[in-house]
Amino acid sequence: MIKEMEAVFCDKFGTNENIQKFFSPGRVNLIGEHIDYNGGNVFPCALSIGTYGIFRKRQDDKVLCYSMNFEDLDIIEFSLKDFKYDKKDNWVNYVKAVIWSFGQKFGKIEQGFEFLCYGNIPNGSGLSSSASLELLISKILIDEYNIKIDMIEASILSQIAENKFIGVNCGIMDQFAIAMGKKDYAIFLNTDTLDYKYIPAKLDNYKIIISNTNKERKLNESKYNERRTECEKALSFIQKYKQVKNIADLTIDEFEAIKHRIEDEICLKRATHVVYENERTKKAVELLKQNDLEQFGKILNESHKSLKELYEVTGVELDTLVEISQQQKGVIGSRMTGAGFGGCTISIVKEDCIDQFIQVVGTKYKEKIGYEPSFYTVQIGNGTMKL
């Protein structure tokens, strides 16, 4: 892929001398959904698919960006002297966002660059193509502009970029998992303290299959921010009676004792999901350590039920995909992953059943929904890096 990218870079920018090459993965969350902004524990891993970038410094203040995924947009240009969010600049707003975020902390970057990228993460899939791009730009700024920070701080600055510049009120999980990914390990992350542990993700003769609903989805136009507001409201009810920083700080027993204080029925449902999902995540980590894949799979199924009934972020496409998947031979668990409202599911499928799984699930989904899903057999890979 890189050779092809080099050729396109040469075509678009005149030469490919003095170029630098980078890779940033996508991520999938094994379990712990919609609790990263509620101070809970999440369990993501970086993937072997992601975003590749080629970079070269310029002698002026212009930034020229080209994506092989959006060829019809051609080169999009902006100046480091003065730039702002502009809807017509599409994906390049994420490049601007990270430059802006780093500029707030370290002062303006003044020397421009040429940048070409290609991603093999499906857009809008919920596998964090946006966070992958954010960390790719972060790594470029760190390495090529001699900015002295580690990748944890880079993940925080990337999150700020998405919150403040793009306007999506995301938690830290996506950026952290992409920045800190480690091959064959998932990350058990406390999103409040950023304490983390690498947990071996040995799936024996099972594989992770990502199934994409192929439903079009735009995160900052979805109900994502609405769910976050509902959780903040639930927390405000709880805080009148108990000193607690986040909903996920409550144990199940503590929550059951105080939940009647949440006067809004919708907010109660959201908080119930958060507390129980946080406990499921802790349990899932222990089960994976013990290599108890059967029970691990059951917890994934429980997670989806909660996201469907209590958090209400699934929808007919995701529910159809999960229900069909859970019924297939060789599947120990399946759930939606990511923000929801479309996007992807994650299924743990026995290796010798994968072909049959893809064929049957694809056919039955199309019969009900009217169009086909896409499937990806993925490996757990490393975090963002210079190639």
Strands (DSSP E) contained in 256-378 are: 331-337, 344-350, 374-378
Residue 82 has pLDDT above 60, yes or no: yes
- 60 as an active site residue: the answer is no
Assigned CATH for 2-199: 3.30.230.10
pLDDT value at 43 more than 60: yes
Question: Is the pLDDT score of 222 beyond 80?
Answer: no
Helix, strand and coil in the chain, % to nearest 5: 45, 20, 30
Q: What is the rounded CA–CA span in Å between residue 315 and residue 307?
A: 10
Minimum mean pLDDT among 25-29, 147-151, 239-243, 340-344: which range? 340-344
CA pair distance 175, 178, nearest whole angstrom: 5
Residue 46 dihedral angles phi and psi, to the nearest 5° = -75, 155
| Selected catalytic residue, list 36, 89, 174, 249 | 174
How do residues 289-305 score in pLDDT, each as one tens digit? 998 999 999 999 999 99
For the chain, give every domain's residue range.
2-199
| Beta-sheet strands, E only, within 257-315 | none
Q: Is 70 exceeded by the pLDDT of residue 123? A: no
**Residues 266-276 pLDDT 10s:** 999 999 999 99
CA distance 28 to 378: 10
Q: Which pLDDT tens digit goes with each residue over 151-207?
A: 999 999 999 999 999 988 777 889 999 999 999 999 999 988 999 999 998 888 999
